[in-house]
Amino acid sequence: MIFLPLLPAPLSAREDSASLLLQKTVGSSNSRVYVMKKGESIRSVLRSQPGYEPVSRAAIRRLNPDIPDLDRVYPGQRIVLPTPGRLEPSESVSNSGRKNSGDTLRRGVPIPVIYRIQEGDSISRVILSELNMNPAEALPAYRLIRKLNPEIRDLNRLPVGQALRLPPAPARSAIPPPTQPQTQTQPQQTTTPPTGKPDAAAKMIADSLFGVIRPVISRMRGAVTVAGSYHIPLQETTQITIDCAQIPVVELDDGTTVLLDYGDRLSENLKRLIRQSWKNYAFLTAEELRDELGGLSGIIRHSQNYKMVRTDKPLELTAKPEILIFPDWVISGKTAVGGVTYRQGLFLLDRDEQPLPAEARRFIENNGIAVTEIAEGRAVSSMETPSALQPIITDLRDMKGIAFVEKLLLTLGETPIRNTEVVVFDQARNGFNLSVTADLLIRKGEKRFIIHTKKLPEQFVLILRDAGAEVIPIRERDQGRSLIEGTLQGLGIPVSFGYFSFRIPQEGKRPRLTGSISTLRAMNGGEPIFLIDFDMAPAVLPFFSGRRGERVIRY
């Protein structure tokens, strides 16, 4: 959020985080030691002492650098407190970095207190909390800090470790409260003029703002402020307060700020003044905001990091299997963050089109593309579908020969038996006994299948066949597609290699997501089983088969 309800001073609408540490101590003549009593706080002790003057937390912290939290003190703790009227430090650092003596103070120039910025603070927090200022004093305090730090071009972007000079207590007490502007040469505040009831065109644009712009920007880690006030500082003496209900403000995470002036309330002179102080500010007029995507495109056009383009070809989501998506527009980052480039696909739905199933939307987003579907000028939610059952995946990659075939058949629902003796000749019929020990034996009804790794004489094979036993020869080091096809075809299990595809939606003039896969597919008992030679996300399988919980074999 950009709105700062407590701070009308010209601080940045978005401030960097920083914290401040004192670098100096004061002499013993300016302080005294006090022992805390039960129920007392540092503030209550200061208010009760004779000649009480307001004292900032910064001054108390400077006197007590060993106390981590000034709001947590205990009875019996020794606290160093300033002596009323004697709060000036004995020395400080000047703009040139050299120490000054008390001569500077005697010449009427306030001696600043030196802070060093650390992560966790901001200039507004320093003014309001560290300097013990109220919001009405913030603007003049900000001006004084700028004068004390002329080498710092932007007080709202203080790097960690930056030295910052702050006014001491006597100088702060002399800061006048802000007044209303008396002349045009030194305005204190300029506000957007009040307007009457918005016309129909402005209402249509506002509806577009809530329906499209805000959902898309929020998915880009940005913010859209549509209520409250937004403060824009101009130089030292002027700030502009924007009524966000009339002129919404969009902030992107790359620092771009765009004012959506859909009522054309801002004059060109005012825009020029803002641009002179803030290069990252931009404006969109009512004409630019009339189209539901025109305003969004205009915002992205001013961005330092993002671009928005209309797509004329699908985007590849995964290469194998090949899965494509068909967005109408794509918003993408120009620079990668952590090795990943931001992408958001905008899908424009016709009146009769349904949103993507939630399962398909999650799959797309898990592969790095945010999805926003827009129907009738508003972002819409995906259709909830039953939770997908994860496919049962059997991994055969490290197996060969008999072990491979045995695991394959078990996955297909068969019951192979290892090292089973099969009789070829018996004494009663042939006058002698002769049998074969099958590596695997499969029974399917009245028929038996012998899977064997050693070559049998052709006469034995014919005799076994006459006895209702079919021999399927394999080699011990066989694996992969040829072994799968040879075994399953020998068993009479349908298996085919081909390209299988799907599209979402299944019907309609155009798809939003398609996929094609080249794989083996076996049918055993009417249930398809995919056999793949590549890694594939389990969430993809239900799209191809239209089923959930199917079995998959990775070989």
Structural domain boundaries in the chain:
19-173, 190-304, 400-479
- Check if the beta carbon of residue 277 is closer than 8 Å to that of residue 299: no
3-state class (DSSP) for residue 96: coil
536 vs 544, higher pLDDT: 536
Q: How confident is the model over 499-505, as a mean pLDDT?
A: 85
pLDDT of residue 427: 77
- Check if the beta carbon of residue 313 is closer than 8 Å to that of residue 326: no
Does position 309 have pLDDT exceeding 60, yes or no? yes
pLDDT of residue 151: 76
- Check if the beta carbon of residue 493 is closer than 8 Å to that of residue 472: no
- Check if the beta carbon of residue 76 is closer than 8 Å to that of residue 100: no
- Check if the beta carbon of residue 127 is closer than 8 Å to that of residue 135: no
pLDDT of residue 59: 75
3-state class (DSSP) for residue 128: helix
Written as one letter, the residue type at 507 is E
- Check if the beta carbon of residue 83 is closer than 8 Å to that of residue 32: yes
Provide the greatest CA pair distance for the chain: 132
Q: How confident is the model over 181-195, as a mean pLDDT?
A: 38
Query: What is the rounded average pLDDT for all residues in the chain?
Result: 76
Q: How many alpha carbons lie under 13 Å from residue 531 in its C-beta half-sphere? A: 26
Does position 343 have pLDDT exceeding 90, yes or no? yes
Distance CA 453, CA 402 (A): 8
In the chain, % of residues over pLDDT 90: 20
Distance CA 310, CA 545 (A): 32
- Check if the beta carbon of residue 16 is closer than 8 Å to that of residue 138: no
From residue 532, how far is each of 433, 465, 483, 537, 554 by CA, in Å? 45, 33, 14, 12, 5
Does position 192 have pLDDT exceeding 50, yes or no? no
Cβ-proximal residues to 299 (8 Å cutoff; 6+ apart), any chain: 213, 217, 250, 252, 256, 258, 260, 284
DSSP 494-536: -EEEEEEEEEESSSSSS-SEEEEEEEEEEEETTEEEEEESS--
Distance CA 272, CA 258 (A): 14
pLDDT digits (tens, 9 = 90+) for 49-72: 776 667 777 778 777 777 777 878
Distance CA 23, CA 25 (A): 7
Does position 531 have pLDDT exceeding 50, yes or no? yes
pLDDT of residue 15: 32
Backbone angles phi, psi at 120, to 5 degrees: 120, -5
Does position 466 have pLDDT exceeding 70, yes or no? yes
Most confident of 376-390, 414-428, 483-497: 483-497
Q: How confident is the model over 153-160, as a mean pLDDT?
A: 72
Does position 554 have pLDDT exceeding 70, yes or no? yes
Which range is least confidently modeled, 136-140, 259-263, 369-373, 521-525? Answer: 136-140
Question: Would the pTM count as exceeding 0.75?
Answer: no
Does position 376 have pLDDT exceeding 60, yes or no? yes
- Check if the beta carbon of residue 223 is closer than 8 Å to that of residue 2: yes
pLDDT of residue 253: 86
pLDDT of residue 352: 84
Rg of the chain over CA atoms, in angstroms?
39
Distance CA 479, CA 495 (A): 16
Cβ-proximal residues to 290 (8 Å cutoff; 6+ apart), any chain: 201, 204, 205
pLDDT of residue 417: 92
Q: How confident is the model over 140-163, as a mean pLDDT?
A: 76
pLDDT of residue 389: 57
pLDDT digits (tens, 9 = 90+) for 29-42: 456 778 888 888 88
DSSP for residue 211: I
184 vs 387, higher pLDDT: 387
Query: Residue 355 has which token pair?
Result: 């949103």
Q: Band of the pLDDT at 371, cuts 50, 70, 90?
A: very high
Residue of 175, 166, 69 lying closest to 117 (CA atoms): 166
How many angstroms from the chain centroid is the CA of residue 188? 39
- Check if the beta carbon of residue 347 is closer than 8 Å to that of residue 369: no
Backbone angles phi, psi at 181, to 5 degrees: -60, 135
Helix pair angle (401-411, 481-490), 10° resolution: 60
Q: Band of the pLDDT at 405, cuts 50, 70, 90?
A: very high
Does position 118 have pLDDT exceeding 90, yes or no? no
Does position 27 have pLDDT exceeding 70, yes or no? no
- Summary count for the chain: helices (H), strands (E): 16, 30
How many angstroms from the chain centroid is the CA of residue 256? 17
